[in-house]
Amino acid sequence: MGENGEKKKIIASNRKARYEYEILDTYEAGIALLGPEVKALRDGKASLTEAYADVRRGEVFLLNAHIGAYDQAGASNAPPMRERKLLLHRREIAKLESRVDEAGLTLIPLSVYFSGGRAKVELALARGKRRYDKRQAIRSRENQRDLARVMRNRNRGS
């Protein structure tokens, strides 16, 4: 559920992001889109696999996000990989800009969704995980799965 009780309709999510990065903080940003892009999002034609965000001259841009063409738009479709401006409050942008300048931090989109009829991006301030961190995450997930399996089998036996 969104802030005002409205439901979020998730269009695309970056599933690899939580595996590849350690999420430090999340932000909700609006996206400046053209009409056919909104229609394409409503059709679910979006991908965030290689997407990231960049702060330039006090503005935040979404890069490498793919929003497919809307079939009925014809020639008025925008290029699918174009830069899209993200809409945040000025103080949030200043905070993000100072934190991104820190070593190893980056802005990664986690998901694109509609909230209250408006397209939004869940943006994460993240630090890249090292290989051993990823192995540790896999190991703990497998341990949790094994523990759940043992508990399930124990409950069936009685």
Q: What is the pLDDT of residues 6-64, one digit of tens each?
A: 678 888 888 888 888 888 889 999 998 888 888 888 888 888 888 889 888 889 999 98
Residue 152 belongs to what H/E stretch? helix 131-157
Closest CA to 120 of 19, 15, 57, 27: 27
- pLDDT category of residue 157 using cuts at 50, 70 and 90: low
Tell me the percentage of the chain whose pLDDT exceeds 90.
13
Find where tokens 């430090």 sit.
24
Q: Locate all alpha helices (DSSP H) within 1-130, ordered by sequence.
A: 17-20, 35-42, 90-100
- pLDDT tens for 58-113 read 899 999 888 887 777 677 677 777 888 999 999 999 888 888 887 778 899 999 89
Structural domains in the chain?
Answer: 8-157 (2.40.280.10)
pTM beyond 0.75: no
Residue pair 121/13 in contact (Cβ under 8 Å)? The answer is no
User: Are 70 and 33 contacting, i.e. CB atoms less than 8 angstroms apart?
Assistant: no
Beta-bridge partner residues of 71: none
